[in-house]
Protein backbone atom coordinates (compact mmCIF):
# COMPACT_ATOMS: atom_id res chain seq x y z
CA UNK A 1 0.00 0.00 0.00
CA UNK A 2 2.76 2.42 0.91
CA UNK A 3 4.54 1.73 -2.38
CA UNK A 4 1.37 2.67 -4.28
CA UNK A 5 1.07 6.02 -2.53
CA UNK A 6 4.75 6.79 -3.14
CA UNK A 7 4.17 6.49 -6.87
CA UNK A 8 1.21 8.89 -6.95
CA UNK A 9 1.82 12.43 -8.09
CA UNK A 10 -1.24 13.71 -6.17
CA UNK A 11 -2.66 12.60 -2.85
CA UNK A 12 -5.83 10.50 -3.10
CA UNK A 13 -9.05 12.52 -2.86
CA UNK A 14 -11.82 11.28 -0.54
CA UNK A 15 -15.13 10.43 -2.16
CA UNK A 16 -16.98 11.78 0.86
CA UNK A 17 -16.09 13.49 4.12
CA UNK A 18 -17.87 14.00 7.43
CA UNK A 19 -17.63 17.11 9.60
CA UNK A 20 -17.03 17.19 13.33
CA UNK A 21 -19.10 19.44 15.60
CA UNK A 22 -17.27 22.70 16.47
CA UNK A 23 -16.53 21.57 20.04
CA UNK A 24 -14.79 18.34 18.89
CA UNK A 25 -11.09 18.59 18.09
CA UNK A 26 -10.78 15.19 16.42
CA UNK A 27 -11.49 11.47 16.50
CA UNK A 28 -9.38 8.54 17.69
CA UNK A 29 -11.36 5.45 16.74
CA UNK A 30 -14.22 4.46 14.42
CA UNK A 31 -16.73 1.59 14.40
CA UNK A 32 -19.29 0.79 11.69
CA UNK A 33 -22.47 -1.11 12.55
CA UNK A 34 -23.46 -4.34 10.77
CA UNK A 35 -25.98 -2.53 8.53
CA UNK A 36 -23.10 -0.30 7.32
CA UNK A 37 -25.34 2.71 7.94
CA UNK A 38 -24.19 4.05 11.33
CA UNK A 39 -20.62 5.15 11.99
CA UNK A 40 -19.61 5.55 15.65
CA UNK A 41 -16.71 7.98 16.06
CA UNK A 42 -14.87 8.33 19.39
CA UNK A 43 -14.31 12.07 19.81
CA UNK A 44 -11.49 13.74 21.73
CA UNK A 45 -14.02 15.11 24.27
CA UNK A 46 -14.93 11.52 25.34
CA UNK A 47 -18.29 11.51 23.55
CA UNK A 48 -19.23 9.09 20.81
CA UNK A 49 -20.51 10.93 17.73
CA UNK A 50 -22.92 8.93 15.54
CA UNK A 51 -23.09 9.55 11.80
CA UNK A 52 -25.69 8.19 9.37
CA UNK A 53 -23.44 7.33 6.43
CA UNK A 54 -26.45 6.20 4.36
CA UNK A 55 -27.52 9.82 3.93
CA UNK A 56 -25.67 12.86 2.76
CA UNK A 57 -25.66 14.43 6.25
CA UNK A 58 -22.15 15.60 7.06
CA UNK A 59 -22.80 16.29 10.77
CA UNK A 60 -23.56 13.67 13.46
CA UNK A 61 -27.20 12.62 13.84
CA UNK A 62 -26.77 11.69 17.51
CA UNK A 63 -24.26 11.50 20.33
CA UNK A 64 -23.48 9.17 23.23
CA UNK A 65 -22.56 11.17 26.33
CA UNK A 66 -19.24 11.20 28.12
CA UNK A 67 -19.10 9.76 31.67
CA UNK A 68 -21.00 11.91 34.18
CA UNK A 69 -18.04 12.06 36.59
CA UNK A 70 -15.91 14.92 35.15
CA UNK A 71 -12.57 13.62 36.43
CA UNK A 72 -13.22 10.33 34.59
CA UNK A 73 -13.39 12.00 31.19
CA UNK A 74 -10.37 10.64 29.40
CA UNK A 75 -8.97 9.63 26.09
CA UNK A 76 -10.86 6.56 24.81
CA UNK A 77 -8.26 4.41 23.12
CA UNK A 78 -10.51 1.89 21.37
CA UNK A 79 -14.22 1.41 20.77
CA UNK A 80 -15.97 -1.73 19.60
CA UNK A 81 -19.59 -2.63 18.79
CA UNK A 82 -20.99 -5.90 20.14
CA UNK A 83 -21.71 -8.58 17.49
CA UNK A 84 -25.47 -7.97 17.86
CA UNK A 85 -24.99 -4.19 17.67
CA UNK A 86 -26.78 -3.53 20.97
CA UNK A 87 -23.75 -2.33 22.96
CA UNK A 88 -20.67 -0.24 22.40
CA UNK A 89 -17.66 -0.58 24.69
CA UNK A 90 -14.72 1.81 25.08
CA UNK A 91 -11.40 1.34 26.82
CA UNK A 92 -9.79 4.50 28.10
CA UNK A 93 -6.45 5.95 29.06
CA UNK A 94 -7.48 6.38 32.71
CA UNK A 95 -8.26 2.67 33.20
CA UNK A 96 -12.06 2.89 33.07
CA UNK A 97 -14.35 0.73 30.98
CA UNK A 98 -17.30 2.55 29.39
CA UNK A 99 -20.34 0.71 28.04
CA UNK A 100 -23.34 2.19 26.20
CA UNK A 101 -26.68 0.88 24.94
CA UNK A 102 -26.74 1.77 21.23
CA UNK A 103 -30.55 2.08 21.10
CA UNK A 104 -30.98 4.46 24.07
CA UNK A 105 -27.53 6.06 23.59
CA UNK A 106 -27.09 6.02 27.38
CA UNK A 107 -24.31 4.48 29.49
CA UNK A 108 -25.09 1.03 30.89
CA UNK A 109 -22.54 1.41 33.66
CA UNK A 110 -21.04 4.42 35.33
CA UNK A 111 -17.25 4.08 35.55
CA UNK A 112 -15.73 3.66 38.98
CA UNK A 113 -13.87 6.65 40.40
CA UNK A 114 -11.11 4.21 41.35
CA UNK A 115 -10.12 2.45 38.11
CA UNK A 116 -8.85 -1.12 38.36
CA UNK A 117 -6.17 -0.65 35.73
CA UNK A 118 -3.71 2.01 34.69
CA UNK A 119 -4.87 1.95 31.06
CA UNK A 120 -7.24 -0.07 28.85
CA UNK A 121 -5.46 -0.30 25.52
CA UNK A 122 -8.01 -2.37 23.63
CA UNK A 123 -11.48 -3.89 23.80
CA UNK A 124 -13.26 -6.68 21.94
CA UNK A 125 -16.28 -8.95 22.22
CA UNK A 126 -16.55 -12.71 22.61
CA UNK A 127 -19.67 -14.06 20.96
CA UNK A 128 -21.10 -17.01 22.84
CA UNK A 129 -24.36 -17.80 24.60
CA UNK A 130 -23.82 -14.94 26.98
CA UNK A 131 -22.40 -11.66 25.78
CA UNK A 132 -18.93 -10.95 27.16
CA UNK A 133 -16.41 -8.25 26.52
CA UNK A 134 -12.66 -8.70 26.52
CA UNK A 135 -10.43 -5.86 27.67
CA UNK A 136 -6.70 -5.50 27.05
CA UNK A 137 -4.48 -3.78 29.57
CA UNK A 138 -0.69 -3.60 29.42
CA UNK A 139 -0.37 -6.62 31.76
CA UNK A 140 -3.75 -8.42 32.06
CA UNK A 141 -6.64 -9.55 29.82
CA UNK A 142 -9.78 -9.63 32.03
CA UNK A 143 -13.17 -10.87 30.81
CA UNK A 144 -16.38 -9.04 31.79
CA UNK A 145 -19.88 -10.59 31.47
CA UNK A 146 -22.53 -8.27 30.02
CA UNK A 147 -26.12 -9.02 30.98
Listing DSSP states for 51-118 in one string gives: EETTSS--S-SEEEPPPSSGGG---EEEEEE-TTSSEEEEEETTS-EEEEETTT-SBSSPPPSS-SSS
Is 34 a residue whose pLDDT tops 70? Answer: yes
pLDDT band at 104 (very low <50, low <70, confident <90, very high): very high
- Please work out, in degrees rounded to the nearest 5, the angle formed at the alpha carbon of residue 97 by the alpha carbons of 92 and 47: 60
Distance CA 140, CA 118 (A): 11
What is the average per-residue pLDDT within 58-79? 73
What is the average per-residue pLDDT within 85-103? 81
Least confident of 5-14, 22-31, 118-127, 129-138: 129-138
Give the pLDDT score at 115. 54
pTM: 0.74
- Please work out, in degrees rounded to the nearest 5, the angle formed at the alpha carbon of residue 24 by the alpha carbons of 83 and 45: 65
Count of beta carbons in the 10 Å neighbourhood of residue 119: 18
Distance CA 26, CA 102 (A): 21
Q: What is the percent of the chain with per-residue pLDDT over 90, rounded to a whole number?
A: 16
Identify the architecture of domain 26-145 in CATH: 7 Propeller (2.130)
Work out the mean pLDDT of the chain and round it to a whole number: 75
Give the pLDDT score at 129. 55
Count of beta carbons in the 10 Å neighbourhood of residue 54: 11
Amino acid sequence: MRRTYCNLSDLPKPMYSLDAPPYVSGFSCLALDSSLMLLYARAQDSTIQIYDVGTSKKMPVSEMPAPSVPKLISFHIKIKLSPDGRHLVAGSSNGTLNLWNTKTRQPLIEPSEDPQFEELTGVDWIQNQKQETLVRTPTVVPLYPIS
